[in-house]
Structure 1
Amino acid sequence: MNLLQALFFPPEQPGGVSSMIPYLQERFRSSRWEMELFWLPKRIRGKGSDEIVFETFDWTPYGESPVVQKYIQTYRDYLWWTKLRLNKRYDLIHAHHPIAGLAMKKVFPDVPLVQTVHSSYERELILNGKIAENGLEHQFLTKIYRELEYVSDRLMTVSQSFADYMSHYTNDPSRIQIIPNGFDEKRFKPVAHENAVPQLVTVTRLVPAKGLDILFKACAELKKRGHEYVLHIIGDGPFRAELENLAISLGIYNETIFYGYTLHPEEFMPFFDIFVLPSRAEAFGSVFAEAALSCLALVGTDVGGIPEQIEDGVNGLLVKPDDVDALADALEKVITDPAYRYELSRSAWDKAKNLYSLTRIANELKKTYLQLQTDRKG
């Protein structure tokens, strides 16, 4: 079977898709399977000029919004690049971004399309203060889910939580299939180590939706309680300067290290002790699985797909979002009790290895692809 994996961002872009798709090629390498990756280069902007028509709604009433205009132009650019670069036949296309899936169906209308929705662009924009809830942009972006349902042969997402979210915007929620992201176990090598001072780490884009302001305030509370720690921030984004100023104002700048963007954080993640990310929204939260495979203790929020990975008190700790005191209390538990921390990290490692191994997820995808091929022939 000749497969095309259609991404939006290039494979080196941080995020759950890039943690999985490039490594799938090895799992599919055989005489039976051929897999190609495709994405829109960052330099391709403002090239497309196709008229955009959706099958399930009229987008033009939302066109006065700059956010919607940018989305439509990006769709045009993806169409332009696809037509320019792809001229071979595929047996199946698996898209990992709405724009990628919509463009592929326009260019290859007779090829079966599997569409995975990995996250909610509209929720991130709302939480980051870029658009208003129920505004033009929110209405437009949620209508895209129905369009994806219409054009896809199989609509998928990465967690039950996000499937429930999408169900409000689709006609037949029972069609939504759940396959979580998978991770190449060989990339994650837990390392036996002892740190005299507990090392906290987070790996994320620095935007308000990730709740790092809450983390900083919780760390200030830990310092007030007399606990030693170091907080490592891996990632970059528009919120960085504000976070650096917040660390200074809270008196925790000396305990906080900003690394910026790092391509392969899993290479040194095993040397830390505790992974913490108090997100305000997550469709799945791939970085929790990556931290679990690195054998770190997990502390997260009870939102989105995170509680599907973390059972509170069993393989990590969960707190409500935006609760500084609860987050400080959870971190205090794992900072002050190394034995408990180790117990949580081992349980997290066991679960992640069993449920999120790339081999297991690749096998699930193969079943889906072959079933679609069978259905088409039948």
Structure 2
Amino acid sequence: MKKVLHLLSGGGAGGIEILCEQIGLRGQYRHEFCFLFSGGVIADRMKEEGLTTYDLSGESFWNKRRKLLDIFAEGEYSAVVVHHEGVKLYMLYEALIRFAEKGKMLDVTFIKYLHCTFDDSDFYTGKKVEDWLHHYLLGKTLADSDRLVAVSEFAGMSYADEFGLDDDRIQVIYNGIDVSDGESAVTDGKMTRRIEQEQCTGKEEVQSLDGSRLLYIGRLVKVKGVDVLIKAVALLKKQGNVVTLDILGDGEARKDFEKLSSDLGVSEQIFFHGVILDKKEYFQRDGIFVYPSVWQEAFGISIIEAMSNGLICVASEVGGIPEIITEKEQGILFEAGNAEALATAIVEAQRRGDAGNYQAYRDEILSRAAEFDIQKSVEQLEELV
């Protein structure tokens, strides 16, 4: 059986980490994971699930390098996949490439995953030396990798344009989710995902969604546009359209967002729940999912999760998101950073979720979500090994 070593900066509750967990659980090959700078809840869960993990977070850089080389030398890996970004991570990945070259390990495939778009505002800090080193080592990492995997066409093109890469070097593998469970069959208060009517025929009647309940899942950082969503909630309140918003996630901007909610008079409508791994309760209760990112988002796995549960999705028209919502029936795209446009889009989502309208959109939403199957993503990655 082939073995694959995955390099990650940390093991927190992020989309990259959860994707790696699914790769480990579903792959036909043996996938092992090395967390280089920090652990986290997903790293802990992977270990509990019986996946092989290595935690080098407590080591100095040179000890990390030495121990990583030992793991690689002893592991007899068919491939190494690097997922996150960062100067030190690039240096460790390059050390493995040089080690393989020196040992004439020509059958090892080195793969760089492009989970985000190349965006100047994200990659550059304004410190000339650090920025130059980051750009140089990233370019070297891209050039030295045997395979490049992008999570969207947009993400891949952003690196191709910046570093002059040939398009045929980049393989697009969309992120996926477990689509086997489909939508929930739970009846909860005002909102019913589906109910069986005529047991003799098995016919299903779908009622309306609760358009007064909004859901956001993601990091609480400025580039995710949560402030735009809070402003939209305040605008809707002024129009007499009072909604509640569940926010799942955490981050450095949480206190700023909480203060903004209070300043705009909507703190009683907005609930900050922190990181929630089991999101089923919210998918069953809330009717509209909002993804208000203001930067060039590479993909948006939480959009697929929400769609697979039948929610009406409202998302910024940026980055790779239009590759998910390709038809107007599948969701609603709005101008990034525009709170008024977002408020208008939410009203349209409420209309689509009303009785008599939802059924027409529901089938399109579920059908589109089903195309992003995690099993297909894993199989496409393993074909590159």
CA–CA separation in structure 1 for the residues paired with 2:382 and 2:4: 13
CA–CA separation in structure 1 for the residues paired with 2:158 and 2:324: 17
CA–CA separation in structure 1 for the residues paired with 2:36 and 2:255: 29
Shift of 1:22: 1.4
Aligned to 1:288: 303
1:116 paired to 2:102: no
Shift of 1:329: 0.2
Aligned to 1:82: 68
Contact 2:110 2:145 in 1 (8 A): yes
CA–CA separation in structure 2 for the residues paired with 1:42 and 1:149: 24
CA–CA separation in structure 1 for the residues paired with 2:280 and 2:133: 36
Shift of 1:295: 1.7
Aligned to 1:349: 366
Shift of 1:198: 2.1
Q: How is 1:12-51 mapped onto 2 (pairs within 5 angstroms)?
A: 13-29=12-28, 33-40=29-36, 42=38, 44=57, 47-49=60-62
1:131 paired to 2:120: no
Name the TM-score, length of structure 2 as normaliser.
Answer: 0.78
Post-superposition Cα deviations, 1:144-178, rounded to whole Å, max 9, x if no partner, equal 44212221111111111111110123343321111
Aligned length: 333
Aligned to 2:199: none
Q: Which amino acid aligns with 2:347?
A: E
Contact 2:118 2:162 in 1 (8 A): no
SS at match of 1:161: helix
Q: Assess, with a 3 A threshold, how the Cα gap between structure 1 residues 240 and 2 changes in structure 2: closer, same or farther.
A: same
Aligned to 2:49: none
Aligned to 2:163: 170
SS at match of 1:233: strand
Shift of 1:367: 2.4
Shift of 1:227: 1.0
Shift of 1:211: 0.5
CA–CA separation in structure 1 for the residues paired with 2:66 and 2:381: 28
Q: Assess, with a 3 A threshold, how the Cα gap between structure 1 residues 165 and 360 changes in structure 2: closer, same or farther.
A: same
Contact 1:7 1:37 in 2 (8 A): yes
Q: Assess, with a 3 A threshold, how the Cα gap between structure 1 residues 310 and 101 changes in structure 2: closer, same or farther.
A: farther
Post-superposition Cα deviations, 1:210-250, rounded to whole Å, max 9, x if no partner, equal 01111111110111111132100100111011111100111
CA–CA separation in structure 1 for the residues paired with 2:217 and 2:359: 20
Shift of 1:3: 2.2
Shift of 1:277: 1.4
Shift of 1:140: 3.6
Shift of 1:8: 1.2
1:332 paired to 2:319: no
SS at match of 1:283: coil
Q: How is 1:4-15 mapped onto 2 (pairs within 5 angstroms)?
A: 4-11=4-11, 13-15=12-14
CA–CA separation in structure 2 for the residues paired with 1:248 and 1:202: 18
Post-superposition Cα deviations, 1:314-352, rounded to whole Å, max 9, x if no partner, equal 200101111111100000111244244554443222112
Q: Mind listing any 5+ residue stretches in structure 2 that lack a counterpart?
A: 40-56, 192-209
SS at match of 2:163: coil
Percent identical residues = 25
Aligned to 1:212: 226
Aligned to 1:160: 153
Q: Assess, with a 3 A threshold, how the Cα gap between structure 1 residues 257 and 138 changes in structure 2: closer, same or farther.
A: same
CA–CA separation in structure 2 for the residues paired with 1:316 and 1:83: 47
CA–CA separation in structure 2 for the residues paired with 1:264 and 1:78: 33
> Residue 95 of structure 1 is aligned with which of 79, 82, 85?
82
Contact 1:206 1:240 in 2 (8 A): yes
CA–CA separation in structure 2 for the residues paired with 1:156 and 1:365: 8
Q: Assess, with a 3 A threshold, how the Cα gap between structure 1 residues 184 and 102 changes in structure 2: closer, same or farther.
A: farther
Contact 2:313 2:349 in 1 (8 A): no
Shift of 1:124: 6.2
- Tell which deviates more after alignment, 143-152 or 263-272: 263-272
Contact 2:5 2:77 in 1 (8 A): no
CA–CA separation in structure 1 for the residues paired with 2:137 and 2:281: 37
CA–CA separation in structure 2 for the residues paired with 1:245 and 1:312: 36
CA–CA separation in structure 2 for the residues paired with 1:5 and 1:272: 38
1:363 paired to 2:366: no
Q: Assess, with a 3 A threshold, how the Cα gap between structure 1 residues 163 and 187 changes in structure 2: closer, same or farther.
A: same
SS at match of 1:253: coil
Contact 2:159 2:165 in 1 (8 A): no
> Residue 279 of structure 1 is aligned with which of 290, 293, 298?
293
1:315 paired to 2:330: yes
Name the TM-score, length of structure 1 as normaliser.
Answer: 0.79
CA–CA separation in structure 2 for the residues paired with 1:139 and 1:349: 45
Contact 2:293 2:316 in 1 (8 A): yes
Aligned to 1:237: 251
Shift of 1:15: 2.5
Q: Mind listing any 5+ residue stretches in structure 1 that lack a counterpart?
A: 50-76, 370-378
Contact 1:222 1:328 in 2 (8 A): yes
Contact 2:179 2:369 in 1 (8 A): no
1:179 paired to 2:173: yes
Contact 1:191 1:271 in 2 (8 A): no
Q: Assess, with a 3 A threshold, how the Cα gap between structure 1 residues 3 and 204 changes in structure 2: closer, same or farther.
A: same
CA–CA separation in structure 2 for the residues paired with 1:91 and 1:141: 28
Aligned to 1:2: 2
